[in-house]
Structure 1
Amino acid sequence: MEQPTAASAPPSRGLVLIVEDERAIADVQRIYLSRAGFGVHVETTGQGGLDRIRGLRPVAVVLDVGLPDIDGIEVCRRLRARNDWTPIIFVTARDDEVDMLLGLELGADDYMTKPFSPRELVTRLKTVLRRSDGIPRRGVLRAGPVTLDPEARTAAVDGSPVELTAREFDVLAYLMASPGRVFSREQLLSAVWGQADYSAGRTVDVHIAQLRSKLGPGNPLRTRRGVGYSADAEGS
């Protein structure tokens, strides 16, 4: 990893919880996030992370998968089971697509494979927390039974609230803001994820699949084979 070269800035962007059992890695992450204006707290076990998330209410969690007690995937599972949708970035030494897909399906917002640049971590975290930045705003968005409020960041199907992760919300809002327009995976990665690693197109597919599952059979999402995805104005 890169070594930091400057002093930390006073925290102003909220508290980030790092759950990482390798102290040297956690220290580098902490310093770079502090320099970017975040407050930082470090835990070295999955159980410690679960306890602190409830007590500290961080703006995001940087969560190692390979923890010594409860692994990161189980931590994420337990958080989502108790309806805690704090944004999560998975950090894993396993270059394994199965781990990545499982994490995203459970509701993680992003993932990074070790080794990685701590500057990239800061960039990814800012993107996760960006919320509605870069998403066209047209007031409340509607398509079939789905209603989306970009300002309040709430979603509903036939009036019943639906819990979406920050990334799922951003993908859906981006598509619903331009009904009928087809966006390629590359365009969605650039607009919503803020990245140009187009080999990560599978990440888009996973989020679309999760949205369809949560929104039900009347969801407005459409696949245009060989092109990308769109949201129909009327749903199905």
Structure 2
Amino acid sequence: MTHILLVEDEVKLARFVELQLNYEGYQVSIAYDGLTALTAARKLHLDLVILDWMLPGLSGLEICRRLRSISDKVPIILLTVKDEVSDRIVGLDAGADDYLVKPFSVDELLARVDTHLRRSQQVGTADVLEFKDLTLNRRTRQVYREQRLIELTTKEFDLLEYLLTHPRQIITCDRILGEVWGCDFIGDANMIEIHMRYLRLKLEANNEKCLIQTVSGVGYTLHD
């Protein structure tokens, strides 16, 4: 049975969401604070985490970062009242796969849960992706340009991983938002442009050849 960890300090909301998830056939564990969530994440085999941003003790962002140190693959959906694009970027860069603003529709939450669970099951099994002199290791989450180790944020890594799984294809901004940020995520091309700019700066820090090309008015492609 699919096991979901729900981290939410509002008891009534947590109970309501738990019941809805149970009705859909999911096994649910609840944590009302950050430390309990981290303990549960270490002990349980989880398929997905629903994580509130504002929590007593450790914030949801810090929990997200620590959960990522435990598991690179478990999807994390962040719940928050913060709805600015800058807040979304901060949350996603901390390692969240998706972002849902409170108050939210439970049907929307269930749809996102289903989407991320299906996506995690469809991810390819190859540990190492390569293109020219660029290497990405999914297991260690390390990226190299020849022998140079490149430090990336979580979302930069996810973005590069997606490009590497679709080399030489022109990928639209809408598709990138849907596949990297989540199919229902509301964002714009400016956010993608910001992440692409930082990613390129890191990949080309030693004046290496540009591999990520912009297709004006359409999107991006990984091309030599």
User: 1:174-206, CA deviations, whole angstroms, 9 ceiling, x for partnerless residues?
Assistant: 433443332221122345556265645456456
- In the alignment, the residues of structure 2 paired with residue 68 and residue 139 of structure 1 have an alpha-carbon distance, to the nearest angstrom, of 37
1:17 aligned counterpart, secondary structure:
strand
- In the alignment, the residues of structure 2 paired with residue 180 and residue 162 of structure 1 have an alpha-carbon distance, to the nearest angstrom, of 24
Answering whether residue 29 of structure 2 is matched by residue 41 of structure 1, we say yes
Deviation at 1:68, TM superposition (A): 2.2
Gaps of 5+ in 2: none
Letter in 1 for 2:120: R
- In the alignment, the residues of structure 2 paired with residue 36 and residue 145 of structure 1 have an alpha-carbon distance, to the nearest angstrom, of 45
Structure 1 residues 74, 166: CA separation in 2 closer, same or farther (over 3 Å shift)? closer
- Which residue of structure 2 aligns with residue 131 of structure 1? 120
Answering whether residue 212 of structure 2 is matched by residue 221 of structure 1, we say yes
Out of 41, 61, 76, the residue aligned to residue 49 of structure 2 is 61
Alpha-carbon RMSD: 3.8
- Which residue of structure 2 aligns with residue 88 of structure 1? 76
- Which residue of structure 1 aligns with residue 221 of structure 2? 230
- In the alignment, the residues of structure 2 paired with residue 34 and residue 207 of structure 1 have an alpha-carbon distance, to the nearest angstrom, of 37
Deviation at 1:228, TM superposition (A): 1.5
Answering whether residue 135 of structure 2 is matched by residue 144 of structure 1, we say no
Q: TM-score, structure 2 length as denominator?
A: 0.74
Deviation at 1:39, TM superposition (A): 1.1
Structure 1 residues 166, 33: CA separation in 2 closer, same or farther (over 3 Å shift)? farther
- In the alignment, the residues of structure 1 paired with residue 142 and residue 38 of structure 2 have an alpha-carbon distance, to the nearest angstrom, of 26
Letter in 2 for 1:73: L
- Which residue of structure 2 aligns with residue 29 of structure 1? 17
Answering whether residue 10 of structure 2 is matched by residue 19 of structure 1, we say no
Q: TM-score, structure 1 length as denominator?
A: 0.71
59-68 vs 207-216, greater mean Cα deviation = 207-216
Letter in 2 for 1:31: L
User: 1:98-144, CA deviations, whole angstroms, 9 ceiling, x for partnerless residues?
Assistant: 322111112111110011112221221232232263x7999975312
Deviation at 1:57, TM superposition (A): 3.6
- Name the count of aligned residue pairs: 217
1:131 aligned counterpart, secondary structure:
helix
Q: Does structure 2 conserve the Cα–Cα contact (< 8 Å) formed by 1:19 and 1:43?
A: yes
Deviation at 1:64, TM superposition (A): 0.4
User: 1:13-64, CA deviations, whole angstroms, 9 ceiling, x for partnerless residues?
Assistant: 2x11111011121122212222333211111111211221112242221110
Structure 1 residues 37, 202: CA separation in 2 closer, same or farther (over 3 Å shift)? farther
- Which residue of structure 2 aligns with residue 3 of structure 1? none
- In the alignment, the residues of structure 1 paired with residue 182 and residue 92 of structure 2 have an alpha-carbon distance, to the nearest angstrom, of 17
- In the alignment, the residues of structure 2 paired with residue 39 and residue 98 of structure 1 have an alpha-carbon distance, to the nearest angstrom, of 33
